[in-house]
Amino acid sequence: MEYKKIDKGSYNIHLIKTDNFKEVVVKIYLKKPIKREDITMRNILTDVLTYSTKTYNTNKLLNIREQELYASNITVNNYRFGNYLTTVFSIDILNDKYTEKGNAKEAIELLSEVMYNPDVESRRFNPKVVNIIKKDNKEYLERLKENTSLFSAIRLSEEMDKKRPSSLRMCGYLEDLKDINVTNLYKHYKDMIDNSMMDVYVVGDINFLEMEKIITTNFSSKVLKKKRIGFYLEEKKALRKPLIITEKDDHNQSKLTIGCRIKKLTKFEEQYVLPVYNLILGGSTGDSKLFKIIREKYSYAYYIYSSSYKLDHTLLIRAGISKENLKNVIRLVDDIMIEIKRGHLTEKDIKKSKAILLSNMNTVEENPYNVINMYYSIDTLGEDDIKTAKKMIKKVTKRDIIALAKKIKMDTIYCLEGDVS
């Protein structure tokens, strides 16, 4: 795997050459500090941009064009990366070797068309399209509560992190929709294109010179690079005693979300100790302490897991339970966290978690999206590359984990109570 970063002055191109894939994947990252008022607007905007373009001016025509290019698939994703609102345009193309010469180039041109040649007339987006997308988003937001697990996590963040970026609903706000129109949407579009920091990533069996040329012909940015705010949120102290909030809703299962705060970590703790700790506590396998005790020993839940958000300094624990077990589950989670702090964990627990993380690192190079994500973390957060990471993860000790456990504290507990018997 060969990596090359090209500084284009106003943006960077990152090229990764590998013959691991039959596909070529291009991802364009645009980022700006996040503001609440931008979120709903951005969601509408990216839906409008991928609905149709100036040349392919109906959704049907754009879909047919993607299909003609051997099912090249364009997607857009908006998410929060610490303090930043990030929009990523991606395309997944089958390498010309398996299609026909020039197919990949044409597919990248289509991605450029989606970004730079929208269906706009005199600085206004096509009103018909904007209306369709607004209605769609409205209905989506109206039924947000139907996804009880997601809703519980959203409500927890709002209660725990009032006014901080981490409390923002990335799905958007119903009340913001009515003020979005064809004109201010265009302004927002110009603002996104003109003022976002841009990074272009390409991975696949590519020729560096040729690809650099294709990218520079199709993408550009006007932003002068300057030091912006950091990615990490400001730290916040945990409450002395966790706050418990319950709300009722008409469904069967209660959805519990427990929010914990993490004190400032060192780079080593953040990249290596925190993932080990999280796996031991409630990581994705059926072998975590939360899973073993709350599900297997007490039968209180079908699912329970934890995930850490280093940029936000938080760790969330999520579970689906029966409401009569709420108090017991909270007490057990608390006990488990205290046990780890006290060092009640075996060398085996640590070894297992390291083995899983090492195995995950081994597979990064098998998926083009993971390869780009890895280089993005190296470039933005200054994380170690895989080779270094594989060595460093082995250095995590029991003492490191106990020290880290002491920096994690329960802060807010939210339960969306099911009320149907």
Distance of alpha carbon 290 from alpha carbon 258, whole angstroms: 13
**Shortest Å, Cβ 369 to another protein:** 11
Minimum CB distance to another protein smaller for 13 or for 107: 107
Number of residues that bind another protein (CB under 8 A): 65
**Shortest Å, Cβ 68 to another protein:** 6
Minimum CB distance to another protein smaller for 7 or for 324: 324
246 interacts with another protein by CB under 8 A? no
DSSP string, 267-282: HHIIIIIHHHHHHHHH
Kindly provide the residue ranges of all beta strands, DSSP E only, lying in 357-419, ordered along the sequence. 408-418
358 interacts with another protein by CB under 8 A? yes
**Shortest Å, Cβ 342 to another protein:** 22
**Shortest Å, Cβ 323 to another protein:** 11
140 interacts with another protein by CB under 8 A? yes
User: What would the two tokens of residue 96 be?
Assistant: 């010309």
Residues 6+ apart with CB under 8 A from 107: 69, 72, 91, 93
DSSP string, 3-67: EEEEE-SSEEEEEEE-SS-SEEEEEEEEEEE--HHHHHHHHHHHHHHTT--SSS-SHHHHHHHHH
Stretch that binds another protein, among 38-46, 183-191, 362-370, 385-393 (CB under 8 A): 362-370
**Shortest Å, Cβ 294 to another protein:** 10
Minimum CB distance to another protein smaller for 241 or for 421: 421
**Shortest Å, Cβ 352 to another protein:** 4
- Is residue 272 within 8 A of residue 390, CB to CB? The reply is no
- Is residue 263 within 8 A of residue 233, CB to CB? The reply is no
Neighbours of 248 (CB within 10 A): 12
**Cα distances (angstroms) measured from residue 54 to each of 118, 329, 398:** 5, 55, 59
Q: By CB under 8 A, what part of segment 73-132 binds another protein?
A: 94, 98-99, 128, 132
Binds another protein by CB under 8 A, chosen from 71, 239, 244, 338: 71
Distance of alpha carbon 32 from alpha carbon 192, whole angstroms: 8
Minimum CB distance to another protein smaller for 29 or for 291: 291
Minimum CB distance to another protein smaller for 146 or for 179: 146
Minimum CB distance to another protein smaller for 220 or for 367: 367
Q: By CB under 8 A, what part of segment 278-307 binds another protein?
A: 284-287, 291, 295-296, 298-303
- The CB-side HSE value for 396 (13 A sphere, CA atoms) comes to 33
Burial of 258 (0-12, 13-18, 19+ CB in 10 A): buried
Binds another protein by CB under 8 A, chosen from 187, 222, 351, 398: 351
- Tokens 């284009």 belong to residue: 8
User: What would the two tokens of residue 180 be?
Assistant: 């979005």
Distance of alpha carbon 101 from alpha carbon 116, whole angstroms: 24
Q: By CB under 8 A, what part of segment 155-214 binds another protein?
A: none
Backbone angles phi, psi at 151, to 5 degrees: -65, -40
**Shortest Å, Cβ 359 to another protein:** 4
Distance of alpha carbon 404 from alpha carbon 396, whole angstroms: 11
Binds another protein by CB under 8 A, chosen from 246, 346, 362, 397: 362
323 interacts with another protein by CB under 8 A? no
Minimum CB distance to another protein smaller for 165 or for 320: 320
- Tokens 């993380």 belong to residue: 357
**Shortest Å, Cβ 288 to another protein:** 9
Q: Do β-strands 11-17 and 197-204 pair in parallel, antiparallel, or remain unpaired?
A: parallel
Stretch that binds another protein, among 15-23, 176-184, 220-228, 396-404 (CB under 8 A): 15-23
21 interacts with another protein by CB under 8 A? yes
22 interacts with another protein by CB under 8 A? yes
Binds another protein by CB under 8 A, chosen from 252, 266, 346, 388: 252
310 DSSP assignment:
T
Binds another protein by CB under 8 A, chosen from 8, 17, 63, 309: 63
67 interacts with another protein by CB under 8 A? yes
Catalog residues that contact another protein under the rule CB under 8 A.
19-23, 58-60, 63-64, 67-68, 70-71, 94, 98-99, 128, 132, 135-136, 139-140, 142-143, 145-146, 148, 249-253, 284-287, 291, 295-296, 298-303, 320-322, 348, 351-359, 362-363, 365-367, 418
